Amino acid sequence: MKRFHLVGIIVLALVFGFNCAAQAIEQIKIQTPSCDASKCNFKCAPAAIGPYSQAIQFGDLVFLSGQIALDPCTSPNVITAEGITEEAERVMQNLGAVLKAAGLKFKHVLSSTVYLSNVAADFSIFNAVYSMYFSCNGDPCVYDSSGEVIFCCDPEDPYCNKNCGSKELPPPARATVQAGIPRGGLLEVSMIAAK
């Protein structure tokens, strides 16, 4: 009989705990493909392709849903990037747009989960693109005073990472797994960031 009371108390605690937690969850508003195509790579991200939010804030934590290489301006439903390098760049640009909508940059990312369709073939190629976004104090782009992009570092350009300041931040924690990717993509990345 005592076991049933204990189970009942645990169930009530969980129900009330989740109810309180649910009230504190806030959906991050993301600018969608109605933006100017010339600025799209850095100002918007593709809409969710399923029943999920692009990002959810809980307290100071922001949970970013996985992004695949959809281009919100030119191909919001089909991956048109060719190869792992192009897909990685598009995915990271999409994540950058979601981070920006939450008032964050890559330097605020605590953890990433990377899903590759072929870890053996694509791991090092993906790392070359990914690492660029966690140098230059977390932002591979240089902006003017109005916030417009002046230029962004090319992952092939060694000058970029050597000349972005003396204070480099450690990269976030990360897991990489092999998985099937929606829409026939080569990779997907999700992140957790903190304000």
Residue at 72 is within a domain: yes
pLDDT (tens digit per residue) in 100-158: 888 888 888 999 999 999 999 999 999 988 987 876 555 555 554 555 554 555 555 44
Question: In the chain, how many domains are there?
Answer: 1
Residue at 114 is within a domain: yes
Residue at 13 is within a domain: no
Tokens of 85: 């390098």
pLDDT (tens digit per residue) in 79-116: 988 999 999 999 998 998 888 888 888 888 999 999 99
pTM of the model: 0.70
Residue at 17 is within a domain: no
**Which distant-in-sequence residues (6+ apart) come within 8 Å of 116 by Cβ?**
122, 123, 126, 176, 177, 178, 179, 186, 187
Residue at 177 is within a domain: yes
Instruction: Measure the CA–CA gap between 67 and 74, rounded to whole angstroms.
Output: 16
Residues in the chain: 195
Residue at 18 is within a domain: no
Residue at 2 is within a domain: no
Residue at 21 is within a domain: no
Can you tell me the mean pLDDT for 68-89? 89
Instruction: Measure the CA–CA gap between 101 and 99, rounded to whole angstroms.
Output: 5
Find the domain containing 157 and state its range. Answer: 27-194
For the domain that residue 149 is a member of, what is the CATH number?
3.30.1330.40
